[in-house]
């Protein structure tokens, strides 16, 4: 498990980009209090999903409006080119811990994972 941030670093309904892992991860605190972690980069183009809009369990890419389900990573349609990875997140003693997915990331053309 990787510590990504403190729960107090998160704002309900907003995302936080975490660069301490590669590729970066977006952490969200949903309005219902659940914490979600997905790969931060949209699969269509190099855009931070942490800068997107959170609504109804999905985040909308700030560039081209593809919406990614926070539970499955699956987009609702184009122009996204595939699902983002979902990482298992839990809160322990006020810290957000994440088990990173072992699946290969689905990154847009030209973006490489460090």
Domain boundaries, given as residue ranges, for the chain: 2-99
Closest CA to 105 of 16, 29, 8, 26: 26
Looking at residue 35, its pLDDT comes to: 98
CATH of domain 2-99: 2.102.10.10
Q: How far is it, in rounded angstroms, from Cα 57 to Cα 51?
A: 15
Average confidence (pLDDT) over 42-46: 93
Give the model's confidence band at 67: pLDDT under 50 very low, under 70 low, under 90 confident, else very high. Answer: very high
Give the model's confidence band at 114: pLDDT under 50 very low, under 70 low, under 90 confident, else very high. Answer: low
pTM of the predicted model as reported, rounded to 2 decimal places: 0.94
- 110 touches 41 (CB < 8 A): no
Report pLDDT digits (tens) over 46-58.
999 999 999 999 9
């Amino acid at each position: 498990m990787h510590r990504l941030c403190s729960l107090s670093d998160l704002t309900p309904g907003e995302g936080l980009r975490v660069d301490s892992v590669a590729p970066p991860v977006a952490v969200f605190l949903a309005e219902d209090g659940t914490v979600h972690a997905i790969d931060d980069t949209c699969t269509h183009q190099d855009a931070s999903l942490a800068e997107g809009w959170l609504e109804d369990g999905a985040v909308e890419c700030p560039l081209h409006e593809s919406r990614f389900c926070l539970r499955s990573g699956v987009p609702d349609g184009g122009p996204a080119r595939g699902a983002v990875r979902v990482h298992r997140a839990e809160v322990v003693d006020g810290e957000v811990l994440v088990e990173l997915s072992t699946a290969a990331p689905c990154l847009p053309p030209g973006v490489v994972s460090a």
